[in-house]
Amino acid sequence: MRSDEETKRIVFEAARHAFAVDGYAATSTEELARRAGISTKTLYRLFPGKAALFEAMCADRLERLLSDVNLQANDAVDIETGMGAALLACADLALDPEVVALQRMVLQESAAFPDLAANFYKNGISRTAIALAGWLRAQVKKKLITIDDVDEAAGMLIGMVASAPQRAAIYGGKPLPTCKDIERRARTCAAIFLDGCRPRAP
């Protein structure tokens, strides 16, 4: 006998593939149960409906990805290196192929199912910004940077490091940047944020 947690993992895996291939609206709970190898009765016992399953699936996947995002302040590195590493962690999450695929599906289905977008934002996008704001707040306390509104700054930074490549992939059909490209982008964004881009006076 499988535990409920193990069964949920199997359902999440089946749901990810089904939603990615067929879309949210076209995927029935019966199809999800069949793909997971369980009865619809078991599926409904674990999840009240398809919307609850989608929310739980997103939360589970993003939780796993977020657990790998280390934004702990490291006193052994300078602020430029630390900010570059923090932005790289956020960009790696935002530009993960599975996260981008989920975002593409949410955008396609959001008009008919507005709760999908709200849940994706709550479970993913906002949590990444909160984590980065916490890192920025720690740097402010150490007097390494001065920011009036760390939450606003976190949103600006994530937009700068990840939004353009995301849009290019979702709307323009462009490939996602390579790991090397993401690293370079994170370093550039950190430098622009910390130093600006006006030429220094001689």
Q: Among 54-58, 160-164, 169-173, which is the least confidently predicted range?
A: 54-58
- Range(s) of the domain holding residue 99: 78-195
CATH number at residue 8: 1.10.10.60
Strand segments, DSSP code E, in 39-196 are none
Q: Give the model confidence (pLDDT) of 10-53 as tens digits.
A: 999 999 888 878 888 889 999 999 999 999 999 999 999 998 89
CATH number at residue 176: 1.10.357.10
Q: Rounded to two decimals, what is the model's pTM?
A: 0.79
Does residue 140 lie within any of the structural domains? yes
Burial of residue 127 (CB within 10 Å: 0-12, 13-18, 19+) is middle
CA 86 to chain centre: 14
Query: What does the block give as tokens for 137?
Result: 């707040």
pLDDT at 68: 61
Does residue 66 lie within any of the structural domains? no
Number of residues in the chain: 202
Q: How confident is the model at residue 69 (pLDDT cuts 50, 70, 90)?
A: low
